[in-house]
Structure formats: C-alpha cells, structure tokens
Chain A
Amino acid sequence: GEDVEQSLFLSVREGDSSVINCTYTDSSSTYLYWYKQEPGAGLQLLTYIFSNMDMKQDQRLTVLLNKKDKHLSLRIADTQTGDSAIYFCAEIRGTGRRALTFGSGTRLQVQP
C-alpha cells in the first residue's frame, strides 16, 4: 500500500465527529473506497466514490474527494464506541483492473 497513505491512529470522544484522511498518488484512480475492519474480522465495505464526484453522503458517513490534491477523507458524524476499528482507504486504478490497492489503515479509537 505504499501508493496510498493514511495516518496510523485517531482518537475521538463518543458523540464527536471523526475525520480519517487518505492520500493517493495514481491519477488514474477511478474508484476510491473506505473499508472497516474489526478485530478478527474481514473487511466491511462502508462506501465508495467515483473519481468524477467530490462528495458522497450516506447516513453518518460523508466522503470528500479532492482529485487535484489526490486527497480522500471519511467523516463519521456522532461517532459511537461501535465505530472503533481500523479503517482502510483503497483505490481501483484504471478501468480494466479490478484489484484494490489499500493503505495501511487508520486505527480509530472512540473513548466513552
């Protein structure tokens, strides 16, 4: 995941908003994703955005894409303790290849 970078750790208080950031390097990225991984579990697809969009909202989740700066963010409103997990940013490059390229993940800790 060296082409997709994320900060390692974020701690927030319950009820606050969380913002998890990601930067990527490949300008051919077509889709950008956020996955959630809880301990001992697989990856849960949270949301994704097409590269010609700059925002997508889904209930408590808001994704912002700045294509010029190659910056993706995930905002979680009213963060709950159940949101504690590792969040992975990922991308698909081009239109032919379907493999996801992941970042190393951001561990979100929600304090009561």
Chain B
Amino acid sequence: EAGVVQSPRYKIIEKKQPVAFWCNPISGHNTLYWYRQNLGQGPELLIRYENEEAVDDSQLPKDRFSAERLKGVDSTLKIQPAELGDSAVYLCASSLEASGGYEQYFGPGTRLTVT
C-alpha cells in the first residue's frame, strides 16, 4: 500500500513569492492534516480536514495561508506571499476515521526555504 505522497520534496523561493504544496493521502483515509515543522522542533498542526471539510484551522495564518481539499482526497496548501519565517518542513498526514482516527501516517514532507 502506498504511503502519503507529497510534492515537491524541496522548494526554494524568494520572499513575497507564492508557493504551493501538494499531498495525496493513503487511499481511503478520510482525515488529512497539514503540519509545519520548524528546525529543531516537533510538528505543529496547521489544518485538519474531515473529507472535504476543514474542521480545525485555528492555527492556520489565514492572512497568507490557504488550503483546499476539493474532492476529499488530494489537498493543496498555499502560501502567498511567503515570508522568511515560513522556512520550515511542511508535513502532510492522514488517518482513517472509521478505525478511530488515532493512527496518523506522515508523508516525507516538503522542505521550504525562503530567501
């Protein structure tokens, strides 16, 4: 079974430019998460989707970040415009609600560098 797929793996952009990250969760997993991991720290939740509905976006900086999961499968996270402080690893995870949703599986992440 394929795991969580993310692309791109690495992205370098100049500040004020837009950037987008893509995630394909494990097949059948209806819950999808975006986390951000700063250097030397653990991941922190940005947004959680149940199917296509964003059910927890309290930590998403909505002035510059947006996310969508139109058909309840793939998801895209966008930053516009990017700032130097956005440099981090952006991790996508998924879980299966039917089994309690307690096992979250992570993708390899996208490492963003803003110069």
Quick check: is B112 within 8 A (CB to CB) of the other chain?
Answer: no
Q: How near does chain B come to A22, taking the closest CB pair, in angstroms? A: 11
Q: How large is the interface on B (under 10, 10 to 19, 20 to 34, 35 or more residues)?
A: 20 to 34
Q: How near does chain B come to A30, taking the closest CB pair, in angstroms? A: 8
Binds A, one of B12-20, B41-49, B66-74, B76-84: B41-49
Using a CB–CB cutoff of 8 Å, the interface residues on chain A facing chain B are: 1, 4, 31, 35, 40-45, 48, 88, 90, 92, 97-100, 102-105
Chain B residues whose CB sits within 8 angstroms of the CB of A88 once the complex forms: 42-43
Chain B residues whose CB sits within 8 angstroms of the CB of A44 once the complex forms: 106
Chain A residues whose CB sits within 8 angstroms of the CB of B40 once the complex forms: 104-105
Instruction: Return the chain B residue nearest A97 by Cβ.
Output: B56
Chain A residues whose CB sits within 8 angstroms of the CB of B35 once the complex forms: 100
Chain A residues whose CB sits within 8 angstroms of the CB of B106 once the complex forms: 35, 42-45
